[in-house]
Structure formats: C-alpha cells, structure tokens
A and B are shown apart, each in its own frame.
Chain A
C-alpha cells in the first residue's frame, strides 16, 4: 500500500546571481515521500523551500542530484501534479470558472466536460455564487479557494502548495486550513505544503520536514501523530509547536 511517490537524492541547487556569485540555495537534500502523506516543509525565509518545490514541479532543474516523481526523473511539469502559489496566480482576465477550467483546457478536454468539472470544483470550494466573477472581485481567501479548485480540477495525485495561505488574515487562514484538511481527508492526495508558520505545519501535517537557511538542508524530519481535527489548545499540539520553535530559534542563533 505504501508507495513512494516523491524522491530527492542528493539534490542541490546553485543559483548564479547577476554579479557572478554562486548561491547554494539547496544543499544535498534527500527526501522520500509516500503516497497520501501530508508533508509540511518548514523553514525560515531563504531556506530553499520554494526552490525544492519548483524543482519537484519541473519548473527549474536541479544543479545536481536526482529529482523523481513516481519513479521517473522530473524533466518538466508533470500531469500528476498541480501547484498552488501564495497569491496572484489566477489569470486576471478570466472568470473564476474559466480559471478553474484552465488546466483542463490545456489538456484539450472538450468544452462541455471541462465546464461541468470546473463548475463542480468551484462549488466544492464554496464559490458557487462567484462562477462568473473576475478574480479582482474576490477577496484574498476566495482567490486562494479558486486557485485550489483549479489545481484540483485536473485530479492530480500530488498537490504542491507554496505558502498558499501566507497572505491571509489569521481567521481566514484557519478557515482555509480546515477546508483543505477536509478535502485531503476525503481523497488523501499527496500534499507537499511549504510554510514558515510552525503553527500551520503542526495543524496540518502528517509529517514535518524542517529546513535550515542557506545553504538549505534538511535538519529535522518527523511524523505528527496527533489525530484530526487538531486543536491548538491540546497539550501535545502546544508541546510540538514549542519544540519546533526552539529548533528554529537555535538555528537562527547559530548563524
């Protein structure tokens, strides 16, 4: 039943800045993720979380090492995976429905069918009244709902999320986290979720992977066994948040 779906073998990424400097953004990262895991990639700003995600999504190649998804080396974006970014990723000239149908349109799904699927997805994320609204008419939270619906419309096995709730207020953020969890609990798609909020990671993940800042390395990796729905008032929850906070603080002082 346990199937490995994502694998990084000694993956490094070097960027070359404009003045010729080499920046080692990700340093020999090994990571194996099984199908149906909800993994949070946690780390301070600049620790290479987005870079890891972008390499997995096939948006940028690794400088060395091997990135594979479903046993195949990643050479470009793959149809089994979708991505949700922090904000402003909806095409502003398209309606919510047209945005959600975009992935299906790119896969040449016939118009009627993609409208049917997209409408269903839009309703699933609670935007049924906003099918024909333009993105700028939606609040930040609603835009992220639409972005999630768009990512799910192609029925991916993997969902990459790069701080998808990072720009939302605390209340909306919690609401979105709950909804994401209930979606995930239904079909258990593999999720790789980048965040720098310790609280968010503990609330969501079945496993937390912590990265250090430059060069980005994995410094901790452990399962979270608290049953859902989690409450931040639970003692186990609080203990884990404290522990992670401590770890990240130590990391910050070491530098």
Chain B
C-alpha cells in the first residue's frame, strides 16, 4: 500500500518539472552567450545579454536618430501587411480558379512554375530598374497631407518583394485546398441540386479554408522573412530591416541583435495567431477527415 501511495507523488513532481522543458535550450543559449560575451569583451562581435536587453526594454527610446524600436516595428508591420494583403487578395481568387478549372490551371501553371523558383531577392535588380525609389505617394500622385507621411515611406519596390514572396505559398495552398475537396462532398452537393456557383461557394471554399489559412500562414512567414531584404533597398528610411543594417554601419551590434530579436518575436506572434485560428476554427478537419 505505502509504495503504491508513493509512486504517483514522485511522478507528479517530475511532470511539473517537465513543463519547463521548452525553457532549457533558450536558457542555455543565454548563459553561453553571456559567458562568451564577457570573455570576448568585444562589443562589436558580441555584446552582452544585458546590453541587448537594455535596448529591448526601452522600446520607445530613440535609436540612432532613426526613431524607436516600436516606431520601426510599426513601419515594418504596415509594409508587410500591405504587400501581403495585396498578395492574398490576388492569390486566393486565382488559386480558387486554378483549383476549380483544369483549363485555368493548365493555362497558368507554366508561367507560375517558371516564376516560383526565383528567390525574392533575385528580383531586386529588376525591381529597382522598374520602380527605383518610387513610393506609394508618387505612385498615387499624392503630394501632401496626412496620407503622404505614410505612403511616402512605402516604396513600390518593397511592396513588390513582400508581395512576391507571400504570393506563391498562398496561391499553391489555395489551389490544392480546392483541388483536394473530397469527391463525395461534390457529388452529394450536385445530386442535391447545387449549381456550379453553389459548389464553389458552399462546398469548395469552406472545404479549402483550412488549406487557405495554412497558405496565409506560410505566406505571412515568407513576407516577414523578406522584410529585411526589402528594407535594405535604397530609399528606405525606416523599419526594422533598415534599423539593423544601419546599426551595423554604426557598429551598434547591440541594436542589431535587439532588432533581430524583435523581428523574431513579431514573426512568431503572427505565426501563433494563424496557428490559433487553425486550431480553433478547423477542429472538424483533424477530427472529421
């Protein structure tokens, strides 16, 4: 009896400790980082943990006269959301059409599989030749007012890079989502009297939605990933990518690392939001086949 009573207790305490498992690796990384930083004592190569933390814990403090971390993050976020939103707006309908119609798919597949393997960065020279440093303000011919401040900060070339990197993940996932709708669902709907429009709106689209959200999630990751590249383009004067490349030329490795951590944290947060949507809204998918 007594040994039976003891066993679960032991397991329980062990389990409680297991909750901390995800923290082990980061903690070790921080410890090693700090030790190496202190040993090296070279601010340029590796600033100490506390130097980087100091930047991160004062997110509203102006950095290198480029504005605060929060301000730059905001600028980046607006850019990404704009390029990404544009990509989603085009990729989702095109993906649905490609999934729905063999003819559209065959017609577009060639050119898309030609464009897809090109890494977003490889577009840069061409994009610069096309758009130079034109901003959305020049693009729309806006010369003043409240909108100008924002629009002049968003270069067409940046939008293009972000657009092109998030476009394909969204398109491909949408297309496969629509194509993989179970035949039995389509047949049942047809025999119940569904028109082609009903079929798209009431069967294909909802059935493909989980896949579309997965595409949106991948697209967001890709868009955020190409942000730094986009913000290093000429004409950029703000944004996290600009901040870290600029900080590097001022030998402020602490700001570089703080900026990287901010990029990572925001990217992880965005990804988390999509994962949350996938888990909450589409429980029928994993459980229902």
Q: Measuring CB to CB, which residues of chain A are less than 8 angstroms from any residue of chain B?
A: 54, 57-59, 77, 79, 81-83, 85-93, 102-103, 105-107, 134-136, 147, 150-151, 154, 160
* B117 interface hit (Cβ, 8 Å): no
* Interface pair B289/A88, CB less than 8 Å apart: yes
Q: Chain B nearest CB: distance from A111 CB in Å?
A: 15
Give the contacting residue for B189; candidates A79, A106, A151; CB below 8 A.
Answer: A106
* B17 interface hit (Cβ, 8 Å): no
* B19 interface hit (Cβ, 8 Å): no
- How far, in whole Å, are A91 and B185 apart by their CA atoms in the complex? 7
Q: Which of B27-57 touch A at CB < 8 Å?
A: none
Q: Which residues of B contact A136 (CB under 8 A)?
A: 284, 287-289
B72-80, B89-97, B150-158, B192-200 - the one binding chain A: B192-200
The tally of residues in B whose CB lies under 8 Å from a CB in A reads 23
Q: Chain B nearest CB: distance from A190 CB in Å?
A: 15
- How far, in whole Å, are A88 and B182 apart by their CA atoms in the complex? 9
- How far, in whole Å, are A105 and B189 apart by their CA atoms in the complex? 11
- 15 A-B pairs with C-beta separation under 8 A: A81-B191, A85-B188, A88-B182, A88-B185, A89-B184, A89-B187, A90-B188, A91-B206, A93-B207, A93-B209, A103-B192, A106-B198, A134-B288, A136-B287, A160-B191
- Main DSSP-derived SS at the B contact region: helix
* Interface pair B284/A134, CB less than 8 Å apart: yes
* Interface pair A154/B287, CB less than 8 Å apart: no
Give the contacting residue for A102; candidates B189, B287, B289; CB below 8 A.
Answer: B189
- Main DSSP-derived SS at the A contact region: loop
Give the contacting residue for B185; candidates A86, A89, A105, A106; CB below 8 A.
Answer: A89
Q: Which residues of A contact B195 (CB under 8 A)?
A: 106
Q: Which residues of A contact B198 (CB under 8 A)?
A: 106
Q: Measuring CB to CB, which residues of chain B are less than 8 angstroms from any residue of chain A?
A: 182, 184-185, 187-195, 198, 202-203, 206-207, 209, 284-285, 287-289
Question: Assuming A81-B191, A82-B192, A154-B193, is B184 touching A88 (CB within 8 A)?
Answer: yes
- How far, in whole Å, are A121 and B184 apart by their CA atoms in the complex? 22
Q: Chain A nearest CB: distance from B210 CB in Å?
A: 9
Give the contacting residue for A85; candidates B187, B193, B206, B288; CB below 8 A.
Answer: B187
- How far, in whole Å, are A151 and B190 apart by their CA atoms in the complex? 12
- How far, in whole Å, are A251 and B195 apart by their CA atoms in the complex? 41
- How far, in whole Å, are A85 and B182 apart by their CA atoms in the complex? 12
